[in-house]
Structure 1
Amino acid sequence: MRTIQSPDAASAVSADRLRLAVVGAGPAGLTLALLAAQLLPQAQITLFDARPLNRDVSADPRTLALALGSVQLLQRLQAWDASVAQPILTVSVSQAPPNLRHPLFGPAEEPAVSLSAQEQGVSALGAVISYGQLVAPLQARWLARAALEPGRLSSRFGTPVQGLKALGDGVEVDAGIAEQFDLAVVAEGGIFAEQARKAIQHDYQQNAWVGTLTLANESPLGAAYERFTRHGPVAVLPLAPKAGERRAALVWCVPQAEDDAAGLTDAQRLAVLQSLLPDSVGRLQAIGSLKCFALGLNAERSLVDGRIVRIGNAAQTLHPVAGQGLNLGLRDAYALVDALRAGGPIEAALRGVEWQRAPDRWAMIAATDFLARTFAWRWPGLPIARGLALAALQAATPLKKALARQMMFGRR
């Protein structure tokens, strides 16, 4: 193995003239690479990914929920295909029975927090899109940009990065040939079960069953639901209609010790889910094949380690109870490029990113971790307490508005 060293390696490099390595061509890595190409016109950017360029990513059906701020960022990058995305118009977070009768719960006696785009004065609270339909336009946009500036922007698809080595004045990226960069950003996440364990970790002993539902035509369009049940949360996220049918993505979380979903028929799964979800979801008509994923928290204490920065799932893998993992990663990407754009020493920019991202990042880690752990507790009255909290939040308009802003744009 031979080493290629940057000609500027021995000298201090300002943040706007750096050699940048981006490891991972998923949504977070591609977004960061495009942002850097746009906002750091002097930077040399190399994108690495183990996936071959000729592999078609557009058909990947995994579902992603994007906040409004994330959608706006992708629109600015001209990498958002609105025709295949389903806007989220309303969000309902509710507690499944049994519930305590309480005046706060209202006539329906079922506690819920309801958010709507109309109340917030926006066209949508966010959008739901498949992984492939998000990554394909991002990748096409990056390749088109790189073709216009081949001396500055380059891609290494089909080239797995085997190691990163921190140097005093940069990072050595080993991808068969070791090259020195001023800064490396790791955006390769993966799923919890396959990740190396980070500094902060917790196995929730829960499974998430993920798939697609077909809904009756009377089901409201653009409605997202989060249902807290005794065993765990169930999320139903609206998908763009297909062949005239209304569809939704399903995330069904259950304890591993009580997980009987694998042994159920489709009809039985539909019956169980129908009993768990609120009536406003409408009739569930069909369910697609489900995939099972183990759930856990796996997070770094810091985004920054010398000249190595981790974003998205590479920095924090969260429980899907709030659906904010990718949104955190995109906000990480924007904050990093924005700090580098300000110029000055790289170290100063990275310190600024760490401080800026900490409140948003740790608030989301703490909130999702707390909620996920509560589903393992069997305390008497816990569902009632959770229901009372939802009802109180629904009644507190300023707090509900703050929650909506947090969901759309993160903590600012």
Structure 2
Amino acid sequence: MQNMPQHGDVVIVGGGPVGALAALRLAQAGRDVILVEARAQHEPVRDARALALSWYSREQLALAGAWPDSLPATVIDTVHVSQQGGFGRTVLQHDDLGLPHLGAVIDYPVLTAALADALAASGVKVLWQTRVEGAQSLSRYATLSLRTADDAVATLTCRLLVLAEGGALAERLPGITRRVHDYRQSAVLAEVSSSQPHGNVAYERFGAEGPFALLPHGERMMLVWTRSHDDAQRLKEGDDASVLAELQQAFGERLGRFDSIGERAVFPLALRQLNRVVSGRVVMIGNAAQTMHPVAAQGFNLGLRDAVGLVDALAGAADPGDAAVLRRYSAGRRVDSHAVVGFTHGLIQLFDGHHPLVKALRGVGMSALDALPPARRAFASHLVFGVGV
């Protein structure tokens, strides 16, 4: 058994980017932090996702020491939003907000490796290859039941327990329920190349068969295409030429001709949101609190803002698990989380209709947003910085 502590000021379950960012920033604030992660320390992360980070998210990671200059990432300077088979479009520029860039695209394994390096340098105690089998909140502390890699059982107590894992632990807590909406869709992920350079433009296009994004990814682009489960499987297994032809038909020739596509990965999509994010001395952030549709690339950025918001709420608190402190956190995150979840869910509903009148109204809306600089800047600001943050 690794050197197992018995108590910590704050214990975070889940060593993904959201949990790791919270651990790093809390340690910087002088908190005694223990991070519990089921993965082995040097286990390769096999995840096909490329993450589209807002510039705010990128800066928060840099402040935590997890974004070295050498990190391979591709910046986003422009976001181009349009719909297939209808007029109207909106173009958001980094100049709209006076930022060097709107965001950046980075591979999930690359970011997790950078965060692991930052954790090692920070001195945060990380319990690698340790699973949480149960969690309970008591009046003065929270307690966790742990199982280590050598099958040993241990108990760990803390004044505040932060759940930043997939969400299974949260559903066992008193007063916690989870709203689930199955979109009956899957996201198809693949790297594609085109005859023309992307120019650091990210495209969000609402296609006839489902919305898709093309994100600048090195010299190529990362495709995230929402389709029905059957269509997604067909695209995964189809020959490259037929999939590229289908993408070309849906996107047009803004990037010239698509000439290659890599291996495809498929992920089912659902909205999952807790009725509340605090139960006693336990708080939920990131995917433990909500997961959402990838349209507009807001879910991961929302989770990182959860982590930053928690650090801010705990500033100066003698007891990080105090009820008043956690109420402050919950109230501070409510507007942003509900607005972003509602926005992404609403986009899927809005762009699901194919009636000509509905298409025309959508086109008018996008054109109006593009033509009104104050509205466009406000919209871009919400995407980059969140709502009410």
- TM-score, normalization: structure 1? 0.85
Offset at residue 380 of structure 1 (A): 5.3
The answer to whether the Cα contact below 8 Å between 1:204 and 1:295 also exists between their aligned partners in 2 is yes
Change over 3 Å in CA distance of 1:231–1:182 after alignment to 2:
same
Structure 2 partner of 1:273: 247
Offset at residue 82 of structure 1 (A): 4.1
Describe the SS at the equivalent of 1:158: coil
Structure 2 partner of 1:219: 197
Confirm whether residue 351 of structure 1 aligns to residue 327 of structure 2: yes
Structure 2 partner of 1:73: 60
The answer to whether the Cα contact below 8 Å between 2:293 and 2:345 also exists between their aligned partners in 1 is yes
| Among candidates 151, 155, 161, match of residue 132 of structure 2 | 161
Offset at residue 5 of structure 1 (A): 6.7
Structure 1 partner of 2:22: 32
Structure 2 partner of 1:11: none
Q: What is the identity percentage for the equivalent residue pairs of Structure 1 and Structure 2?
A: 36
Confirm whether residue 118 of structure 1 aligns to residue 91 of structure 2: no
- TM-score, normalization: structure 2? 0.89
Distance in 1, matches of 2:88 and 2:69, equals 33
| Among candidates 217, 223, 241, match of residue 239 of structure 1 | 217
Confirm whether residue 54 of structure 1 aligns to residue 47 of structure 2: no
- Structure 1: runs of 5+ lacking an equivalent: 7-17, 100-109, 147-152, 241-245
Cα deviation digits, residues 166-209 of structure 1 (max 9, x gap): 21222111113122111111111389xxx999521100111110
Correspondence list, 1:253-268, <5 A: 253-256=226-229, 259=232, 260-268=234-242
Change over 3 Å in CA distance of 1:208–1:61 after alignment to 2:
closer
- Structure 2: runs of 5+ lacking an equivalent: 147-152
Change over 3 Å in CA distance of 1:82–1:386 after alignment to 2:
farther
Distance in 2, matches of 1:381 and 1:200, equals 32
Describe the SS at the equivalent of 1:253: strand
Change over 3 Å in CA distance of 1:5–1:389 after alignment to 2:
same
RMSD (Å) for aligned C-alpha atoms: 2.3
Distance in 2, matches of 1:403 and 1:25, equals 32
Q: Which residue type is aligned with residue 250 of structure 2?
A: L
Offset at residue 372 of structure 1 (A): 1.9
Confirm whether residue 297 of structure 1 aligns to residue 274 of structure 2: no
Offset at residue 377 of structure 1 (A): 4.3
Offset at residue 278 of structure 1 (A): 4.0
Where relative contact order (Cα < 8 A, 6+ residues apart) is larger, the structure is 1
Structure 1 partner of 2:316: 342
Distance in 1, matches of 2:167 and 2:81, equals 28
Distance in 2, matches of 1:263 and 1:69, equals 37
Offset at residue 373 of structure 1 (A): 2.9
Distance in 2, matches of 1:264 and 1:155, equals 43
Change over 3 Å in CA distance of 1:267–1:258 after alignment to 2:
closer
Q: Which residue type is aligned with residue 220 of structure 2?
A: R
The answer to whether the Cα contact below 8 Å between 2:198 and 2:220 also exists between their aligned partners in 1 is no
Structure 1 partner of 2:143: 172
The answer to whether the Cα contact below 8 Å between 1:69 and 1:409 also exists between their aligned partners in 2 is yes
